[in-house]
A and B are shown apart, each in its own frame.
Chain A
Amino acid sequence: SAVISQKPSRDICQRGTSLTIQCQVDSQVTMMFWYRQQPGQSLTLIATANQGSEATYESGFVIDKFPISRPNLTFSTLTVSNMSPEDSSIYLCSVPDSQVNNEQFFGPGTRLTVL
C-alpha cells in the first residue's frame, strides 16, 4: 500500500483567491489522480496527472480553473483558482496500487470552504 499525505488538511478562503493543495506519496508512482467531493455528494474525478506530461482533465474540468503540477514521482499539486463558494468541497488525491492498476489508495483529503 501507499501512504499519502495532503496539505493543508482544511482551509477557509475568500472568493476570488486561489489555493494550492499539495499531495505527497511515500513511494514513486507514475500516475496520480485528483478528485472532488462536493458537500453531501460522491467523488468525481477532476484529472489524471502523469509525471512529465500535461494532466488529463475530465469533462467539466479545465486547466485554467484547476492547474496541476507533477514535478516528480512522489509529489503533485492542485490549484483551485479564482474560487467561488461552489468550489467548497473536499479535494482528494489518490495513486494506483503498483500491483493492481484498477485499485487506488486515497489521501486524507483537503476540506475547502470558500466564503
Chain B
Amino acid sequence: AQSVTQLDSHVSVSEGTPVLLRCNYSSSYSPSLFWYVQHPNKGLQLLLKYTSAATLVKGINGFEAEFKKSETSFHLTKPSAHMSDAAEYFCVVSDPRGSGGYNKLIFGAGTRLAVHP
C-alpha cells in the first residue's frame, strides 16, 4: 500500500537559515512523489514532483527535494528561508489504483513551517 510519513508536524526556523522538511514513503510500485504547499486561506500549490527521472528535483521558490530509494525518503529543502515560506507543506505519493485510470493522491499529515525574523 502507498503511504507517506512526515516526520515533523511543526518546524521553526529563522529567516535566512536552511529549511529541512522530512518525508518517508512506502510504496508497492515505483512511486511518484510530490510536495504541495498550502498558505493560510489559500489553495494547494504544487512545489515539485519526482516521477522517476532525476533524483534531485528542483521546484518553485528555491525549494528542492532528493529522492533516495535506499532510505525511502523524499525530504524537502531550501538553502535560505524567507518569511513568505511560512505555510503548511504536504508530502504526497501517487497511488496508481485510482478510479477510471487516474492515480489517487495519498497525503501525508503535513508539516507546519514557521519562519521567524
Contacts and interface: CB of A to CB of B under 8 A. Distances in A.
Interface of A: 4, 30-31, 41-45, 48, 50, 56, 92, 94, 96, 100-109
Interface stretch (B13-21, B39-47, B54-62, B65-73): B39-47
A50 B99 contact: yes
Instruction: Bin the interface of chain B by size.
Output: 20 to 34
Contacts, number: 56
Q: Which 8 A-B pairs have the closest CB atoms?
A: A102-B103, A102-B94, A106-B44, A48-B99, A108-B43, A56-B99, A42-B107, A43-B107
A111 to B, nearest CB: 8
Most buried by B among A48, A100, A101: A101
A104 B36 CA distance: 10
Contact of A96 (B34, B42, B44, B102): B102
A109 B90 CA distance: 16
A48 B103 CA distance: 11
Interface of A is mostly: strand
Interface of B: 32, 34, 36, 42-44, 46, 49, 51, 90, 94, 96, 98-105, 107-110
A103 B90 contact: no
A75 B28 CA distance: 34
A32 B103 CA distance: 12
A31 B100 contact: yes
Contact of A48 (B34, B44, B98, B108): B98
Contacts of B96: 102
Contact of B100 (A42, A48, A94, A104): A48
A104 B109 contact: no
A96 B32 CA distance: 14
Contacts of B98: 48
B42 A42 contact: no
Contacts of A106: 36, 43-44
B107 A44 contact: yes
Most buried by B among A43, A50, A107: A43
